[in-house]
Chains A and B, each alone.
Chain A
Amino acid sequence: MSTASIVYDIIGRFTMHSLPFYDMVQNPTKENLINGSIAGFAACVAVGGLVIVVAGITYLKKWRWLWSEWLTSTDHKKIGIMYVVIAFVMMGRAIIEAILMRAQQAWGLDGGFLSPNHFGQLFSTHGTIMIFFMAMPFLIGVINYVMPLQIGARDVSFPVLNSISLMLTAAGAILIMASLVFGQFSTGGWFGYPPYTEAHFLPGVGPDYWIWALSLSGLGSTLTGINFAVTIFKERAPGMKLFYMPLFTWAALCTSIMMIFAMPPLTVATAQLALDRYLGFHYFTNELGGDMMHFVNLFWIFGHPEVYILIIPAFGIYSEVFSTYSGKALFGYASMVLAIMCIAILSFTVWVHHFFTMGQGPSINAVYGIASMLIGIPTGVKIYDWMWTMFRGRVRITAPMIYAIGFIVLFVLGGMSGIVLANPSVDFQVHNTDFLVAHFHNVIIPGVLFGLIAGYHFWFPKVFGYRLDERWGIFAACCWTLGFMLAFFPLYALGIMGLPRRTVAYAQPAYVPLEMAAFGGALLIGVALLSLLIQLVVSYLHRDENRVPVGDPWDGRSLEWACAAPPPEYNFPVIPMVSDRDAFTAAKAFGTAYLPPAEYVDITLPKNAAMGPVIGALGFAIAFGLVWHIWWLVCLATLGAFATMIVRGFARDTTKTIPAAEVEAEYEQWLEVVRAATPVTRADETRPVNQGLADQTALGAAS
Chain B
Amino acid sequence: MRVVGPGVRRWIVNTQPRHRPATAADRSCPRRWVGARFAWTVSLARCIALAVLVLMLGSCVGNEHMSFLDPQGPVAHAEAVHFYWIVGIMAVFVAGPIFLALPFFLWRYRYGNARAKYAPNWKDSAPVIAFTWIGPVLIVCGLGYFVWTDSHRLNPYRALASNQPPLQMQVIGYDWKWLFIYPKQGIATIGTMALPVGRPVTLHLTSATVMQSFFIPALGSQIYAMGGMVTRLNLEAMHPGRYLGENTMYNGNGFHFQKFTAVGMTPDRFKAWVKQVKFNGTPIDARILTAIGTCSTREQMIAAMPSLASTDGAIYLKDVSPGLFPAIVKAVKQGTTPGLAHAAQGGSGSRRSTTCKTPPPRLARAEP
Name A's B-contacting residues (CB within 8 A). 8, 13, 31, 109-111, 115-117, 120, 187-189, 193-196, 199-201, 203-204, 277-280, 285-288, 292-293, 326-335, 355, 357-359, 361-363, 365-366, 369-370, 373-374, 376-381, 383-385, 387-388, 390-397, 405, 408-409, 412-413, 415-416, 419-420, 422-426, 428-429, 431-433, 493, 496-498, 500-510, 513-514, 629, 682-683, 699-700, 702-703
Complex Cα distance, B95 from A419, in Å, reads 12
- The reply to whether B56 and A497 form a contact with Cβ atoms under 8 Å apart is yes
Closest chain A residue to B70 by CB distance? A497
- The reply to whether B351 and A326 form a contact with Cβ atoms under 8 Å apart is no
For the complex formed, measure the closest distance between the CB of B47 and the CB atoms of chain A, giving whole angstroms. Answer: 15
For the complex formed, measure the closest distance between the CB of A57 and the CB atoms of chain B, giving whole angstroms. Answer: 37
Instruction: Select which of B136, B155, B207 is within 8 A of A362 by beta carbon.
Output: B155
Is B119 located at the chain interface by the 8 A CB criterion? yes
For the complex formed, measure the closest distance between the CB of A50 and the CB atoms of chain B, giving whole angstroms. Answer: 28
With A357-B224, A390-B106, A412-B98 known as contacts, the answer to whether A200 contacts B365 (CB < 8 A) is no
With A120-B253, A373-B140, A502-B250 known as contacts, the answer to whether A203 contacts B351 (CB < 8 A) is yes
- The reply to whether B250 and A431 form a contact with Cβ atoms under 8 Å apart is no
Determine which residue in A111, A203, A328, A358 has the highest number of CB atoms from chain B within 10 A of its CB, and name it.
A203
Is B5 located at the chain interface by the 8 A CB criterion? no
Complex Cα distance, B232 from A266, in Å, reads 30
- The reply to whether B246 and A383 form a contact with Cβ atoms under 8 Å apart is no
For the complex formed, measure the closest distance between the CB of A209 and the CB atoms of chain B, giving whole angstroms. Answer: 13
Specify which chain B residues have a CB less than 8 angstroms from the CB of A288 in the assembled complex.
Answer: 334-335
Instruction: Select which of B99, B109, B232, B249 is within 8 A of A391 by beta carbon.
Output: B109
- The reply to whether A629 and B350 form a contact with Cβ atoms under 8 Å apart is yes
Query: 10 nearest interchain CB pairs?
Result: A287-B335, A286-B227, A428-B221, A432-B248, A380-B136, A359-B231, A366-B151, A362-B155, A329-B123, A500-B248
- The reply to whether B123 and A510 form a contact with Cβ atoms under 8 Å apart is no
Complex Cα distance, B212 from A286, in Å, reads 13
Complex Cα distance, B89 from A420, in Å, reads 11
Complex Cα distance, B140 from A415, in Å, reads 13
Complex Cα distance, B340 from A366, in Å, reads 37
- The reply to whether B259 and A507 form a contact with Cβ atoms under 8 Å apart is yes
Is B128 located at the chain interface by the 8 A CB criterion? yes
Closest chain A residue to B130 by CB distance? A335
Is B196 located at the chain interface by the 8 A CB criterion? no
Specify which chain B residues have a CB less than 8 angstroms from the CB of A509 in the assembled complex.
Answer: 59-60
Instruction: Select which of B95, B111, B124, B255 is within 8 A of A396 by beta carbon.
Output: B111
Complex Cα distance, B335 from A629, in Å, reads 26
- The reply to whether B102 and A387 form a contact with Cβ atoms under 8 Å apart is yes
> Binary interface profile of B, 311-330, with partner A (CB < 8 Å = 1, else 0)?
00000000000000000000
For the complex formed, measure the closest distance between the CB of A259 and the CB atoms of chain B, giving whole angstroms. Answer: 27
Specify which chain A residues have a CB less than 8 angstroms from the CB of B78 in the assembled complex.
Answer: 425
- The reply to whether A422 and B147 form a contact with Cβ atoms under 8 Å apart is yes
**Which positions 204-229 of chain B face chain A at CB distance < 8 Å?**
207, 209-211, 213, 215, 217, 220-224, 226-229
- The reply to whether A501 and B156 form a contact with Cβ atoms under 8 Å apart is no
Is B135 located at the chain interface by the 8 A CB criterion? yes
With A387-B101, A392-B109, A420-B86 known as contacts, the answer to whether A329 contacts B121 (CB < 8 A) is yes
Complex Cα distance, B133 from A332, in Å, reads 11
- The reply to whether B110 and A397 form a contact with Cβ atoms under 8 Å apart is yes
Specify which chain A residues have a CB less than 8 angstroms from the CB of B121 in the assembled complex.
Answer: 328-329, 702-703
- The reply to whether B66 and A508 form a contact with Cβ atoms under 8 Å apart is yes
Complex Cα distance, B340 from A264, in Å, reads 31
Name B's A-contacting residues (CB within 8 A). 52-53, 56-60, 66-69, 76, 78-79, 82-83, 86-87, 90-91, 94-95, 98-99, 101-102, 105-106, 109-111, 116-124, 128-129, 131-133, 135-137, 139-140, 143-144, 146-148, 150-158, 207, 209-211, 213, 215, 217, 220-224, 226-229, 231-232, 244, 246-256, 259, 332-336, 340, 343, 346, 348-353, 355-357, 359-360, 362-363, 365-366
Complex Cα distance, B222 from A501, in Å, reads 14
Specify which chain A residues have a CB less than 8 angstroms from the CB of B350 in the assembled complex.
Answer: 8, 13, 629
Beyond A203-B346, A428-B223, A432-B222, 15 extra complex contacts between A and B, CB < 8 Å: A199-B348, A201-B355, A278-B348, A287-B335, A328-B119, A332-B128, A358-B224, A374-B140, A395-B105, A408-B102, A420-B86, A420-B87, A682-B111, A699-B118, A703-B120
Instruction: Select which of B154, B156, B211 is within 8 A of A196 by beta carbon.
Output: B211
Specify which chain B residues have a CB less than 8 angstroms from the CB of A330 in the assembled complex.
Answer: 123
Specify which chain A residues have a CB less than 8 angstroms from the CB of B128 in the assembled complex.
Answer: 331-332, 388
With A195-B227, A196-B252 known as contacts, the answer to whether A390 contacts B155 (CB < 8 A) is no
For the complex formed, measure the closest distance between the CB of B312 and the CB atoms of chain A, giving whole angstroms. Answer: 15
Closest chain A residue to B143 by CB distance? A373
Specify which chain B residues have a CB less than 8 angstroms from the CB of A334 in the assembled complex.
Answer: 124
- The reply to whether A201 and B228 form a contact with Cβ atoms under 8 Å apart is no
Specify which chain A residues have a CB less than 8 angstroms from the CB of B154 in the assembled complex.
Answer: 424-425, 428
With A373-B147, A496-B68 known as contacts, the answer to whether A428 contacts B79 (CB < 8 A) is yes
Specify which chain A residues have a CB less than 8 angstroms from the CB of B220 in the assembled complex.
Answer: 428
With A196-B210, A203-B346, A277-B348 known as contacts, the answer to whether A332 contacts B362 (CB < 8 A) is no
Instruction: Select which of B133, B340, B357 is within 8 A of A377 by beta carbon.
Output: B133
- The reply to whether A363 and B152 form a contact with Cβ atoms under 8 Å apart is yes
Specify which chain B residues have a CB less than 8 angstroms from the CB of A196 in the assembled complex.
Answer: 210-211, 250-252
Specify which chain A residues have a CB less than 8 angstroms from the CB of B94 in the assembled complex.
Answer: 380, 412, 415-416
- The reply to whether A498 and B95 form a contact with Cβ atoms under 8 Å apart is no
Determine which residue in A387, A409, A682 has the highest number of CB atoms from chain B within 10 A of its CB, and name it.
A387
With A120-B253, A416-B90, A432-B213 known as contacts, the answer to whether A395 contacts B124 (CB < 8 A) is no
Instruction: Select which of B83, B133, B254 is within 8 A of A381 by beta carbon.
Output: B133
Complex Cα distance, B341 from A200, in Å, reads 10
Specify which chain A residues have a CB less than 8 angstroms from the CB of B363 in the assembled complex.
Answer: 111
Complex Cα distance, B352 from A650, in Å, reads 47
Complex Cα distance, B158 from A518, in Å, reads 38
Complex Cα distance, B120 from A326, in Å, reads 8
Instruction: Select which of B111, B124, B232, B249 is within 8 A of A359 by beta carbon.
Output: B232
